[in-house]
Amino acid sequence: MLKKFWRITIHSEFSAAHALRNYNGKCEHLHGHNFGVSITIQGEKLSEDTELLLDFTVLKQELKSVLELLDHKDLNAVSPFDKINPSSENIARFVFQALAPRLTKYAVTLYEVNISERGPQSASYFEVFE
C-alpha cells in the first residue's frame, strides 16, 4: 500500500560552549559555537481549515522551548552532558528526545533533528520503528 506524507523543516540556532572529553585535540578545551538546528516533521494529513501540516509558528515555539535548555549554557554542566559528551550527535539525540513528546498533541511525528557546529558539517538523529 502506498503511504503519502508531507514533511516540513524549520531552522534555528542556539549559542553554547562545550568541551569534548577524550578528544585529543583543540576541541577538548572549552570553546563555543552558534549551533545550527534543523528539524523535520512529517504527517499524513493537512488540517482541514488551513491545509497546513503544522503552522511554522507553532513548530518554532515548540523547538524554542527545547533549545532554551541549551542556549547560552556550558553544555558540559547541563544534564545529560555532565555525563555524556556534548557532541553534535548527542545534542541531536537530546533535542529529538526532548522535542518528540511535545509534538504528540499535533497530528505529526518528529522525523529528524540535525545539528551543525559550523556550515557544512552536521550530525543527524532520527528513530525508526521496525
Domain spans of the chain, in order of start = 6-125
pLDDT of residue 104: 95
Q: Which residues make Cβ contacts (< 8 Å) with residue 61, sequence separation at least 6?
A: none
Question: Cβ distance 8 to 46 under 8 Å?
Answer: no
pLDDT of residue 105: 95
Angle between helices 56-67 and 88-99 (to 10 degrees): 120
Q: 29 among the known binding-site residues? A: no
The answer as to CATH 3.40.190.290 being correct for domain 6-125 is no
How many Å apart are CA 117 and CA 15, to the nearest integer?
Answer: 10
pLDDT of residue 66: 98
Q: Cβ of 110: how many Cβ atoms within 10 Å? A: 22
pLDDT of residue 130: 76
Active site residues: 27, 72, 117
Q: Which residues make Cβ contacts (< 8 Å) with residue 59, sequence separation at least 6?
A: 8, 10, 39, 41
Under DSSP, is residue 60 helix (H, G, I), strand (E, B) or coil?
Answer: helix
pLDDT of residue 72: 98
| Phi, psi at 109, each rounded to 5° | -130, 150
pLDDT tens, position by position, for the chain (130 residues)? 999 999 999 999 999 999 999 999 999 999 999 999 999 999 999 999 999 999 999 999 999 999 999 999 999 999 999 999 999 999 999 999 999 999 999 999 999 999 999 778 999 999 988 7
Q: 11 among the known binding-site residues? A: no
